[in-house]
């Protein structure tokens, strides 16, 4: 069995902690109140693993493409490839294995899932090699990568994707993408730098990023309000009025994470922050209780 010090750089390279993002694939089935049959569990499990392996392969590609910029970055220079802990050739070999396995799993699912998988692949490669250096377009691409996961989850179990749910997701993911850029720009500003290596944003843009991010978060809350007043909600929930309790809970979470970001207390990807934040777990639990009681 390999020792921890050997395994750790490889785990960091493939970003195992980022696999949590692929839990988004489960949300369409949960939102549609589908019964967890064996076939659906297998399909969703296969879809999550497929996207996790694909994402890890693409993280390796991104690190290879961004190697020089990462070496000049205050924190990214500690990444396995940038620091030299892992050489490019073995990383490429692992990328090929992960990508091939992911494709094999995707081929076992409906054609619509494979289409979403392909869109994610093309969008991710485009982001790594071009989009991330173009202001605003980088944020659009990042949020689209989150949204494609939701679409793929819908395709995996062949459940129609609610337009309300899709609209809510888009605005929330735009907010999180803007938050990620705000953290990066804030870090550069603290270090006294005007430009961010490999990005088009400048430290002077932080106010715009914050305004756009908070605005997107508020819009997602508005979409939530519109959904729970729509007839579609009354068909899915026996007590839809209970869903109003979820609004202040959700608004508290997005408001808090943006507040902490503005204070310079968020130093990482918002998903990574949420995974390490006890308050986020409490919020998710409370929202789940609200949905169960309303059902």
Whole-number pLDDT of residue 187: 79
Whole-number pLDDT of residue 3: 44
CA dist 199 and 182 (Å) reads 12
What average pLDDT score do residues 125-138 get? 88
Q: Which two structure tokens, joined as six digits, stand for 192?
A: 């006294």
Instruction: Give yes or no for residue 213 having a pLDDT over 70.
Output: yes
Q: Are 254 and 217 in contact (CB under 8 A)?
A: yes
What average pLDDT score do residues 167-194 get? 87
Whole-number pLDDT of residue 43: 95
Instruction: Give yes or no for residue 163 having a pLDDT over 90.
Output: no
Q: By percentage, how much of the chain surpasses pLDDT 90?
A: 49
CA dist 183 and 260 (Å) reads 10
Instruction: Give yes or no for residue 288 having a pLDDT over 80.
Output: yes
Q: Are 60 and 95 in contact (CB under 8 A)?
A: yes
pTM: 0.85
- Span of 1-5, 115-119, 123-127, 252-256 with lowest mean pLDDT: 1-5
Instruction: Give yes or no for residue 197 having a pLDDT over 80.
Output: no
What average pLDDT score do residues 80-88 get? 79
Instruction: Give yes or no for residue 175 having a pLDDT over 90.
Output: yes
Q: By percentage, how much of the chain surpasses pLDDT 70?
A: 94
Mean pLDDT, rounded, of the chain = 87
Instruction: Give yes or no for residue 73 having a pLDDT over 70.
Output: no
pLDDT tens sequence across 13-63: 888 888 888 988 998 988 888 888 999 999 999 999 999 999 999 988 888
CB count, 10 Å around CB of 151? 22
Instruction: Give yes or no for residue 152 having a pLDDT over 50.
Output: yes
pLDDT tens sequence across 239-281: 888 999 999 999 999 999 999 998 988 877 787 788 788 999 9
State the helix-helix crossing angle for 88-107 and 4-14, rounded to 10 degrees.
60
Residues 6+ apart with CB under 8 A from 10: 80, 86, 94
- Span of 110-124, 195-209, 235-249 with lowest mean pLDDT: 195-209
Instruction: Give yes or no for residue 285 having a pLDDT over 90.
Output: yes
Q: What is the dihedral of CA 56, 61, 63, 68, to 10 degrees?
A: 180
Whole-number pLDDT of residue 2: 43
Q: Which two structure tokens, joined as six digits, stand for 32?
A: 């549609």
CA dist 257 and 212 (Å) reads 14
What average pLDDT score do residues 224-242 get? 84
Whole-number pLDDT of residue 1: 36
Residues paired with residue 195 on neighbouring β-strands, in sequence order: 202
């Amino acid at each position: 069995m390999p020792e921890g010090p050997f395994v750790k750089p490889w785990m960091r390279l493939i970003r195992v902690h980022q696999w949590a993002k692929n839990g988004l694939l489960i949300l369409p089935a949960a939102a549609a109140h589908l019964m967890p049959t064996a076939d659906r569990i297998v399909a969703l499990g296969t879809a999550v693993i497929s996207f996790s392996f694909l994402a890890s392969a693409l993280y390796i590609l991104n690190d290879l493409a961004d190697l020089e910029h990462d070496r000049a970055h205050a924190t990214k220079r500690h990444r396995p490839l940038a620091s030299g802990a892992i050489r490019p050739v073995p990383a490429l070999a692992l990328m090929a294995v992960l990508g091939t396995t992911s494709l094999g799993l995707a081929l076992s699912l409906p054609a619509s899932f494979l289409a979403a998988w392909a869109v994610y692949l093309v969008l991710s490669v485009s982001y790594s090699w071009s989009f991330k250096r173009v202001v605003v377009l980088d944020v659009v691409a990042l949020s689209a990568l989150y949204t494609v996961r939701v679409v793929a989850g819908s395709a995996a179990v062949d459940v129609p994707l609610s337009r309300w749910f899709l609209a809510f997701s888009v605005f929330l993911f735009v907010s999180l993408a803007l938050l990620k850029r705000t953290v990066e720009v804030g870090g550069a500003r603290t270090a006294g730098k005007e430009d961010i290596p490999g990005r088009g944003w400048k430290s002077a843009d932080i106010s715009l990023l914050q305004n756009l991010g908070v605005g997107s978060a508020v819009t997602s809350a508005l979409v939530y309000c519109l959904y729970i007043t729509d007839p579609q909600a009354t068909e899915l929930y026996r007590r839809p009025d209970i869903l109003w309790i979820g609004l202040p809970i959700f608004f508290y979470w997005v408001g808090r994470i943006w507040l902490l970001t503005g204070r310079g207390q968020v130093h990482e990807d918002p998903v990574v922050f949420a995974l390490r934040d006890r308050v986020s777990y409490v919020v998710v639990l409370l929202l789940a209780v609200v949905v169960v009681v309303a059902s």
